[in-house]
Amino acid sequence: MEGLSAFLDMGGYGQFVWPAYGVVCVVLVGLMIESRRSLKSAEAALAALKPGDEEIGP
Amino acid sequence: MMFHRFANPTRFLRFAAVVQPWIAWITVILFSLGLYLGLVASPADYQQGETVRMMYVHVPSAWMALFCYTGLAAACAVALIWKHPLAELAAKATAPIGASFTFLALVTGSLWGKPMWGAWWVWDARLTSMLVLLFLYLGYMALNNAFDDPGRGAKSSSILALAGFVNVPIIKFSVDWWNTLHQPASVVKMGGPAIHGPILAPLLVMSVAFTTYYLWVLLIRIRREVTANKVRALQMRQATRGEQ
């Protein structure tokens, strides 16, 4: 347990180190989720428009 | 005409379907390794102590912010000169990713600046030019969406992105040209990196992880733009059919 609290304390700089890693994690994961959702909704819109109209693609 | 317009993007979609799972796995593995090396296996710096660990997310973010803007400007140039449809979509897809990296570089830099410099923010050349980069990204995105005609939006925003490219060398050399609190380049410099191996390794692994993450999200966002274009084309076709 002592090792863990020392790890979290980061030599007294934990209050700066962990928020930095936290914000990176939140932004990168958030951007990934937003991008995937946006792709899914575009694909749903395409499928809903005309399922048989695929010849426009390839 | 339609066939020609979608020829390249369709080939791209096929390519993306094959490559994307590989990039996803590589990104996850590299981030796991980079976080382990950066937070657990690497020593604290003899001057900066544990705060050196912030470098492993701050420096890759800042590198990617510049890398994405260079890619954005190149894609905009190709789109303007050769009217390549995929370049336009790639530029549009890159901007939010680059803006996110710029935001992260600014926030992590601020969190690093407080304990090391005693201030969250200083109006110095490196920090100010990075803030300008964020506004360039946001301006590009706003202008791209500002027109009813997507073609006009793409053209105007491409010109803005190209004009803004002058900021990239300013950021790179700001630490040499002006007196600044920010430290100069220590990895990419004459005579090799001035960083000790155990600290350099997590930095390089995290940088590659950030790069593959960028490629992963870029693929998803270009696929989104290609699909959205198809939807728009279909809607227009149905609308003209309805008028007849």
pLDDT tens for B97-143 read 999 999 999 999 999 988 888 888 888 888 899 999 999 999 999 99
Confidence of residue A40 (pLDDT cuts 50, 70, 90): very high
Indicate whether B203 belongs to any domain: yes
Chain A residues in contact with B241 (beta carbon < 8 A): none
Residue A55 carries which DSSP code? Answer: G
The residues with which B49 forms a beta bridge, in sequence order, are B45
Asked if B53's CB is within 8 angstroms of A35's CB, the reply is: no
Q: Is the pLDDT of residue B5 over 60?
A: no
Assess if residue B92 is contained within a domain: yes
The pLDDT-based confidence of A51 (bands split at 50, 70, 90) is low
Is position B42 within any domain? Answer: no
Q: What is the phi-psi region of residue B2: left when phi exceeds 0, alpha when psi lies from -120 to 50, beta otherwise?
A: alpha
Helices assigned H by DSSP within B37-84:
55-82
Average pLDDT on B217-229 reads 93
Question: Integer distance in angstroms from the first to the last C-alpha of chain B?
Answer: 20
Do the domain assignments include residue B26? no
Is B200 inside a domain boundary?
A: yes
Residue B183: phi, psi to the nearest 5?
-75, 150
Determine, yes or no, domain membership for B164. Answer: yes
Nearest CA-CA partner of B229 in B6, B1, B4, B3: B6
Nearest to B230 among A7, A32, A56 (CB): A56
- Look at residue B39 and tell me if it is in a domain: no
Please state the ipTM of this predicted complex. 0.86
Tell me, what's the pLDDT at A5? Answer: 83
pLDDT score for B152: 86
Residue B244 has pLDDT above 70, yes or no: no
The residue that leads in pLDDT, B11 or A30, is A30
User: Chain B within 8 Å of A22 (Cβ-Cβ)?
Assistant: no
Whether the CB-CB separation of A16 and B114 falls below 8 Å is answered with: yes
Instruction: State the Rg of chain B over Cα.
Output: 21
- Count of domains for chain B: 1
Give the gap in angstroms from C-alpha A4 to the nearest C-alpha of chain B. 11
pTM as predicted:
0.89
Would you say residue B171 lies in a domain?
A: yes
Range of the domain at B199: 54-183+194-243
pLDDT per residue over B156-215, tens digit each? 999 999 999 988 888 888 888 877 778 877 776 666 667 777 888 899 999 999 999 999
Contact A16 B53 (CB under 8 A): no
Confidence tier at B1 by pLDDT (50, 70, 90): very low
> How would residue A1 be classed by pLDDT, with cut points 50, 70 and 90?
low
- At residue B243, the pLDDT reads 67
